[in-house]
Amino acid sequence: MESINWGYVFSTLIIRFIGVFIVLAILQIGMSISSKIIRRIESRQSTNPSKE
Amino acid sequence: MNYQEFIDVLMGIYNQTGFLGLTWGHVVMWCIGLFFIYLAIVKKYEPLLLIPIGFGIFIVNFPLTPLMGFSKEGVPELLQAFYHYGITWEIIPCLIFLGLGAMTDFEPLIANPKTLLVGAGAQLGVFITFIGTILCGFTLKEAASVGIIGGADGPTTIYLTQALAPHLLGANALAAYSYMALVPLIQPPIMRLLTTKKERQIVMKSLRKVSKKEKIVFPLIAVSIIALLIPAVVPLMGMFMFGNLMKESGVVDRLTETAQGALMNIVTILLGVSVGATMQADKFLNAAPLLIFSFGIVDFAFCTAGGIWTVKLMNLFLKPGHKMNPLIGSAGVSAVPMSARVSQVEGLKYNKKNHLLMHAIGPNLAGVIGTAAAAGMFIAMFK
């Protein structure tokens, strides 16, 4: 049976749990920015429809 | 043929039957297999998976059946081939994610991206269970594979278990799918315990309409960020987002229909039967599966609580009128769309006009990504 370094276990778990938050927070920021850019482009297109 | 030769032939035939090799362990495993088939057919608990898993358990526990071994030439037998090429090579969980992506509408998550954090908070149980399982004598890798059960995501559980502790695959997968089916029983008492009546009556602001362009860009953004931050789960998340891109693009309907229909059905059959087939009496009947099932429910409870606590914490920082109903926090444990439906049902009990389903789908999908992120963290920890 492997010996357990509890200090390592607890610290790595806390870091990794926070890591999950960071990953999803970065995804949230990425989604928010891309949504804003797309919505701005779409609103410009709807106010200035291109002339054919 | 004389009498002795006649008896020898009869004995030879008898020795080739399965009766001689039968043990009480086989009988116990038949009962377990039949129990899951019963749950699927009579109780309608996750029938698409529990019938193949139950049948896999049942059929593989007959002596001398050429299903999970190798021939003398080293060729894998039928279910061994499914298992080897589908699960050991980690192909089936990824193909299931492809199908799930092709079936998923991310609109509620794109409209309210802050619910992604709820999906992260709902991974609390995964990490708490990790500690508990180590205390019970599991190794670090085994503990990680058991912990991920609380994420309520079958393919991710299978993917991680296969990578870290393949000998626990059957028990982990069965615990994950069983508890996913029991979400309507497990979650409501925890939801009521952790929220006040006033919180349960919070009416959330309607979600905005999401444009087609946003839906097309989402899988590309998501897979890019995940690939950069946690490359270990790109086989799963890449397929998930690829399936979603096919769906949202609207130009490959044939591929989308195949991914969400025929392909999904085929891999579900192969996955279920092969997972069930790993549960042979001599390998399965020990204390580990019982411990895994016990930890699984604790894991689910903490994941549910983690999602609810995260919403309550976020509400401290949100302006009035933008607050979230904590009942949607429980949906952070994947189990799509069952846990979102539970949020809807519980919400309606306290306000007949409060429809939380679409709001709960956001954390629900965030939970899928969060569980994969947690799995990626564990894989990175050991490889």
Task: Please indicate whether, in this complex, the C-beta atoms of B140 and A4 are within 8 angstroms of each other.
Answer: yes
Single pTM value for the model: 0.91
Q: How far apart are CA B56 and CA B376, in angstroms?
A: 29
Chain A residue with minimum CA distance to B129? A13
Minimal CA separation from B107 to chain A, in Å: 12
pLDDT in tens, B217-251: 999 999 999 999 999 999 999 999 999 999 999 99
Q: Which of A14, A29, A8, A13 is nearest to B229 (CA)?
A: A29
Q: What is the pLDDT of residue A10?
A: 87
Q: How far apart are CA B270 and CA B86, in angstroms?
A: 8
Residues 6+ apart with CB under 8 A from B53: B36, B173, B174, B177, B272, B273, B275, B276
pLDDT for A51 beyond 60: no
Chain B residue with minimum CA distance to A3? B139
User: Nearest by CB to A32, which of B113, B121, B130?
Assistant: B113
Cβ-contact B230, B380 below 8 angstroms: yes
The b/e string for B189-214 (b: 16+ C-beta within 10 A; e otherwise) is ebbeebbeeebbebebeebeebbebb
pLDDT for A50 beyond 70: no
pLDDT for A1 beyond 90: no
Cβ-contact B35, B54 below 8 angstroms: yes
User: Nearest by CB to A24, which of B124, B139, B370?
Assistant: B370
Chain B residue with minimum CA distance to A18? B120
Q: Which two tokens stand for residue B88?
A: 């050991």
Q: What is the pLDDT of residue B177?
A: 87
Q: How far is CA B277 from the centre of its chain?
A: 17
Q: What is the pLDDT of residue B181?
A: 83
Chain B residue with minimum CA distance to A16? B377
Task: Please indicate whether, in this complex, the C-beta atoms of A28 and B117 are within 8 angstroms of each other.
Answer: yes
Task: Please indicate whether, in this complex, the C-beta atoms of A1 and B137 are within 8 angstroms of each other.
Answer: yes
Q: Which residues in chain B land under pLDDT 50?
A: none
Q: What is the pLDDT of residue A12?
A: 86
pLDDT for A52 beyond 60: no
pLDDT in tens, B34-90: 999 999 999 988 899 899 999 999 999 999 999 999 988 889 999 999 999 999 999
User: Nearest by CB to B120, which of A12, A21, A31?
Assistant: A21
Q: Concatenated DSSP letters for B315-361?
A: HTTSPTTSPPPGGGGGGGS--TTHHHHHHHHHHHHH-TT---HHHHH
- Chain B positions contacting chain A at CB under 8 Å are 109-110, 113-114, 116-117, 119-121, 123-124, 127, 130-131, 134, 137, 139-140, 210-211, 213-214, 217-218, 221-222, 224-226, 229-230, 366, 369-370, 373-374, 377-378, 381
Q: Concatenated DSSP letters for B154-213?
A: HHHHHHHHHHH-GGGHHHHHHHHHHHHHTHHHHHHHHHHHHS-HHHHTPPPPPPPP--HH
**ipTM of predicted complex:** 0.87
Write out chain B residues lying below 8 Å of A26, CB-based.
225, 229
Other C-beta atoms closer than 10 Å to the C-beta of B333 total: 41
Mean pLDDT of chain A: 86
Q: How far apart are CA B107 and CA B220, in angstroms?
A: 15
Task: Please indicate whether, in this complex, the C-beta atoms of A34 and B214 are within 8 angstroms of each other.
Answer: yes
Chain A residue with minimum CA distance to B124? A17
